[in-house]
Amino acid sequence: MGKDVLLGAFSREDRARYRQKVRRCLDVFALMLDDFGFDAERPTTGLEIELNLVDSEAEPAMRNAEILANLADPTFQTELGQFNLELNARPRLIEGDGFADYEEDLQASLARAEHRAVKADSTIILIGTLPTLTSHHLVLDNLSTNERYRVLNEQIVSARGEDIELDIRGVERLQTYTDSIAPEAACTSVQFHLQVSPESFANYWNASQAISAVQVAIGANSPFLYGKRLWAETRIALFEQATDTRPDELKAQGVRPRVWFGERWITSIFDLFEENVRYFPPLLPICDDEDPVEVLHAGGVPHLGELRLHNGTVYRWNRPVYDVMNGRPHLRVENRVLPAGPTVVDMLANAAFYFGLTRELAEADRPIWSQLTFSAAEENFHAAARRGIEATIHWPRVGEIRVTDLVLESLLPKAYAGLDRFGVNPALRDRLLGIIEQRCLLQRNGAVWQTEAVAAAQHRRDLDRGEALHDMLQRYGLFQRTNEPVHTWPVE
């Protein structure tokens, strides 16, 4: 959702016109899927990383506007909180040395941003939920100054009609209320984009849904929030609750949440956009001047602005994307399940595992989603978020199995085969998937390291929880900058 909007109430006429325009866009999109030439010859990938800013005491630093102004780099932009930034890497192919290009590019971009951050008395942290955040930081005044965030907050809170409850029961329990969506800013993720053809989109989205639990389990990096140890990937529960527009009565009636795993396997990308229009009222009813029917009839490429904006306010864990680049439309799966960090190489290992495994499953003769119920995939997803790398999930033909055993015995070989289909340099393939293998063998990911480091600081050095979290985060920042994978980090 990248539109800049002006703060103010939307009228009934605005909403009626927008709803009509979204449906018009949906009709045009259906026509395009039937006979339009989408850009899909070579599967381009993309990467987005949400970042946190902290000061020398490991406290959140509300300085993104200052850093962005000094950075003057279009690959960086604001995110929801003033302590957040977003880095958008240049899209590229992963064949050959594509992953090495990503690593060099990301390291250079982060170094530039870190240089500017230091001048603003702050530093960059790649993590799923910033463990030193408290309710005093996550307030309306600390949203980024871009007006679109204020409008989004106003619309979500107004739709709900009451304060938003956060109730996350993990190792410990967090129960509190908020009068804004500011707690969502605690969720910082890495997002993978994969360009696919209209014909293959459903297979890639279904495969992405099926493996989401596995991704979360082995990549978990968000065990703490508001000083409490909750889920291994607390970010999942927090994001689902912090943007929930439904009061209890609508939940009881089965109204769908804005942060949504979904409810069925699909046969076309159209299924997802049609669900968006059918189930979700508009949050930001802002209309473009484009008439998509006229553009299509004139031989042009419609931008479908209203359909895309509406899609940006339905927060699927695997989101469909329609976009236009260089005058050609294309489709992407946006995989949004993973936290940021701990290091660039950890995130690229996660990317290699996702891209390779998804391709192998999407192109398999017998699809995994024909053997796994959708409800089981969703249950797996939340079980993995709670337990992380220790999770047990249900998998076809094997029943209940530890995620690490499933990866080592079955999924990792498929990821290797999928990367070979992409033409990835074998040395890069082996390096990145070797990180996934070692995580599974050692049972160590970011969430494990964080919890062990905090426990060691509390029990062996007699620090209280707050002191231990600050101490852990400062050490985390030092290790992050080495770009050594998290499974190699010492606890003390």
- Return per-residue pLDDT of the chain as tens, 492 residues: 344 444 456 788 888 999 999 999 999 999 999 988 888 888 899 999 999 999 999 999 999 999 999 999 999 999 999 999 999 999 999 999 999 999 999 999 999 999 999 999 999 999 999 999 999 999 999 999 888 888 888 888 888 888 999 999 999 999 999 999 999 999 999 999 999 999 999 999 999 999 999 999 999 999 999 999 999 999 999 999 998 889 889 999 999 999 999 999 999 999 999 999 999 998 888 899 999 999 999 999 999 999 999 999 999 999 999 999 988 999 999 999 999 999 999 999 999 999 999 999 999 999 999 999 999 999 999 999 999 999 999 999 999 999 999 999 999 999 999 999 999 999 999 999 999 999 999 999 999 999 999 999 999 999 999 999 999 999 999 999 999 999 999 998
Instruction: Report the pLDDT value the prediction gives residue 8, as an integer from 0 to 100.
Output: 53
Instruction: Report the pLDDT value the prediction gives residue 147, as an integer from 0 to 100.
Output: 83
Instruction: Report the pLDDT value the prediction gives residue 41, as an integer from 0 to 100.
Output: 82
Instruction: Report the pLDDT value the prediction gives residue 7, as an integer from 0 to 100.
Output: 45
Angle at 129 between CA 128 and CA 133, to 5 degrees: 160
Asked if 155 contacts 83 with a C-beta cutoff of 8 angstroms, the reply is: no
Would you say the pTM of this structure is higher than 0.85? yes
Instruction: Report the pLDDT value the prediction gives residue 3, as an integer from 0 to 100.
Output: 45
